[in-house]
Amino acid sequence: MVEKKNILTYEGLQAREQGDLSENAEYDAAKDEQRDIEARIEEIDKILKNAEVVVEDEVDVNTINIGCRVRIYDMEFEEELEYKLVGSTEANSLKGKISNESNTSRAGYQ
């Protein structure tokens, strides 16, 4: 009886040479990355299921709300900063976006 050939790519051959795939560090790293990606997909899925999109053209510019740009004076450094108010999932202070749930933005609502 003729044995079945195991067809491998060069990459697959190298993986086999490094040991059984279950013991291969590259294989483990790829599985970890896959798990992280799947967790991120699940997180994004939850965000999108509960998303409420704000139409910025319809935002009342006379009221502080999501989509508005606000100026804040930093008394410690004596400088004025400009931020855009966004939802918490979109917040990134390094890009000038603060969450509507942050203490800084809530001060404007009160």
40 assigned to some structural domain:
yes
Residue 27 CB neighbour total at 10 angstroms: 15
Residues 54-74 have a mean pLDDT of 80
pLDDT at 110: 47
Q: Are residues 45 and 69 in the same domain?
A: no
Number of structural domains, the chain? 2
Q: Are residues 79 and 103 in the same domain?
A: yes
Q: 70 or 33: whose pLDDT is higher?
A: 33
CATH code for the domain of 77 = 3.10.50.30
3 assigned to some structural domain:
no
Q: What tokens were used for 75?
A: 């008394």
pLDDT at 37: 96
pLDDT at 70: 86
Q: Are residues 37 and 79 in the same domain?
A: no
Residues 74-91 have a mean pLDDT of 90
pTM, full prediction? 0.51
> pLDDT digits over 10-50, tens only?
777 776 666 655 567 777 888 899 999 999 999 999 888 88
Average pLDDT, the chain: 81
CA 70, chain centre distance (Å): 24
Q: 65 or 105: whose pLDDT is higher?
A: 65
Q: Are 86 and 73 in contact (CB under 8 A)?
A: no
In residues, how long is the chain? 110
Segments of the chain assigned E as strands: 69-74, 79-86, 97-99
33 assigned to some structural domain:
yes
Q: Are residues 95 and 71 in the same domain?
A: yes
Task: Give the residue numbers spanning the domain of 22.
Answer: 10-49
